[in-house]
Structure 1
Amino acid sequence: MRILSVLLIVAAVWIAAVAAWDEKDHEIFRVTEDLEKVEGKGTTFYSFMGLEKGPSSSLDEITKAYRKKSRQLHPDKMKNPSAEATDRFARLGIIANILRGADKERYDFFLEKGFPRWKGTGYYYSRFRPGLGMVFVFLYLITGLAHYLILSINTKSERARIARHVSECKSQAWPSGFPPADASKRRLQDNVGRVFTVYPDGTVWILDTATGDEYLLDPEEVPDAQWGNTVLARLPKWVWKRTVGRVLPAKADAVEEEVASSAAEPGASKKSRAKKGKAARVSSPAEGEEAEGPAPKKIGDAPKKQLKTKTLADGSVVAEASNVAGGRRRRKK
């Protein structure tokens, strides 16, 4: 969350800075850059016009300096004026207008505080000035990327934590580095009361003391970071549900219920679920009346799929690669 906060602050400052520069500011940036390219780096409007007092020059002094400089640079004073000389005289007129008008205060501000230096003196922003919409799109993409990186870091950290638990448990259960000769399991308890079981096959399981079930500790059980879990995918879904999703017909709700039923019974096909739904709608016989034929099956009556098991040397029965309980394989006691 700290990364997202920093990005929001940077974007807000960027928006404020870009929005604070108007067309006059961009003109000042452009003329300043062109002036330094032709007259030399560090040349200011005042030095170009010969005003030794700089920002302290009065309006009369600026006007006199402009008249003097214009007589020197006027193309009519030259026999063969070049395009560069014409541009130089035109630049002099723009500078004089800035210093004799209300924009003088703005130029003096940048002269004292410094001009923005993104690609020269802001010439990039005078050609391409990103709008508010583009800024938010850019921020949205950056936020999604940062969210994905955070998920990836969390996944890596969780896998490292589980791997560390497995290594510590095996080192404590097998001090020699090898499983016991009698192929027996070892049970350990850490300083916070969690109970772990180390089996001869090298797997480490954590015991749920409330139910007696054991869950496999396997770093590979931690799911990878998915773009679908980032704000890039979740925000549009949230907006859809809050807007269009509220006005959709009731048929959409039925579809969602069917999808939810499918998720609850991942092993059942669409045809079998339809049969179960039809059987569930069959009315029951009246009280005292015998039902003819077999009783209609209801959802949940179908036998659950048996897990494939195997027997270890110690006589315990374990499940073979059956993913339950959030992705962690469970060992039946």
Structure 2
Amino acid sequence: MEKTVKICMTGFGNVGVRFARMLLEQERQLADEYGCRVIVTGVCTRTRGTVINPEGLDLGALLIMKEELGRFDSEYPGFAPDCGAPEMIERCGADIFIELSTLSVKDGEPASGYIRAALEHDMHVITANKGPEAWRYAELKALADERGKRYLFETAVLDGAPLFNMARSCLRGCEITGIRGILNTTTNFILGEMEKGGTYDEAVAEAQRRQFAEADPSMDVDGWDGAAKICALANVLMNAGATPDAVKVTSLRGITFGELKAARTQGFRLKYICSAERAADGALRLTVAPSLVPLDSPEALVNGTSNIITIRTDMMGELSIIEKDPEIKQTAYGVYSDLLSIISGERE
């Protein structure tokens, strides 16, 4: 007999919309391979309204409203204009909460609070937000374990690439002793444009034109996105118990074409590297900074909006994942893969 899984969501931006389309596209796969029907019972947004129906919303209609109106229609059954995320969680009767709100690098809120509320209502949790893992991972993981629920976040770092799944399922018994990589697509693109002879300002403008960079690119170029990512990685994979304010961050601003050219002459490329390194005394050093990498290293070969992460382990040596020019589909897939992990009953 086909089972019904109810999900609710906060956020219905690019990732939420692509994930919703993926649910519709994979409806047959869910039925045939997992014996499952997934319905959405609540969607809460910051500016586009909230809709709730414990019996299931018309996902196609929500997508049409988003495309045609840019918001949820106030005439739509279940429209709840004054309903925030905690109330939606309480009212929608979902089994799984999917958290897709905007990152707050300062404290990981309100996403962490939403996740806590969902776990307290006995929901599994999937998030695309790195803030909760960077600021509240140990607390939220302990609550999930206490409640017997899953707390998954594959797409929080490196989009949908199976980084956390690999560490959880394929590196059992290994101790992760170091993490480093190019984790921010915007800064990697900017450095590549500058290597062609452009100025920093020109490279940022081109990244904004191509919609890689925000109107205010400071979160990326000043390293705070990278700080949240490396902190989340270290907390999950190395039990760091750190927060982003413990990361030593050096801004990309001020890098010149001359420095990039000189690096090439000396057999290096300048890349914006995030790293977590365990010192001999056990202390963990977290850094985000422009760094010289040898021309024959994998990091030097990662261009454009591609990413790379290398994990160093005690028994498996070094393992690297390269994600080539990810788009929103890969990010949505990370959420979908976590959903399949919960539906299939996989355990950590």
TM-score normalised to structure 2 length:
0.20
Larger Rg: 1
TM-score normalised to structure 1 length:
0.20
Higher relative contact order by CA 8 Å / sep ≥ 6: 1 or 2?
2
